[in-house]
């Protein structure tokens, strides 16, 4: 099966928990997904067309190119969510 995928989403989701471990903030599902959404909106999409089995190997090989920018975007998003979480 051929798939169209924004691999930046995979990169963000793979790095997200590691970045958030070092931050003193709420880690409920809503806050974590808000951080992911804000980070992804800050990063350029990187679409690939691939066979299902190739997706993860492509994502991992390309992730290194963007890792620093992704970590910076996740951190920036986490600071924003920590400052204004959408729950009490």
22: which DSSP letter?
A: T
7 lies in a domain?
Answer: yes
**What tens digit of pLDDT does each residue of 25-66 get?**
999 999 999 999 999 999 999 888 877 656 666 666 666 777
Total domains, the chain? 1
18 lies in a domain?
Answer: yes
37 lies in a domain?
Answer: yes
* Nearest residue to 3 via CA among 54, 50, 60: 50
* Nearest residue to 4 via CA among 70, 61, 58, 64: 58
Can you tell me which residue has the tokens 């204004």? 84
88 lies in a domain?
Answer: no
pLDDT band at 81 (very low <50, low <70, confident <90, very high): very high
- On average, the pLDDT of the chain sits at 88
- Both tokens assigned to 13: 């989701």
How would DSSP label each residue in 26-57? --SHHHHHHHHHHHHHHSPP-EEEEEGGGHHH
Q: pTM of the predicted model, to two decimals?
A: 0.84
28 lies in a domain?
Answer: yes
Range of 63's domain?
Answer: 2-83
């Amino acid at each position: 099966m051929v798939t169209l995928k924004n691999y930046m989403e995979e990169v963000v989701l793979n790095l997200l928990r590691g970045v958030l471990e070092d931050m003193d903030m709420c880690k409920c599902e809503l806050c974590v997904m808000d951080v992911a959404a804000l980070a992804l909106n800050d990063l350029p999409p990187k679409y690939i067309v691939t066979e299902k089995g190739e997706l993860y190997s492509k994502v991992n090989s390309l992730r290194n190119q963007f890792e620093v920018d992704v970590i910076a975007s996740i951190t920036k998003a986490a600071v924003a969510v920590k400052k204004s979480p959408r729950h009490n």
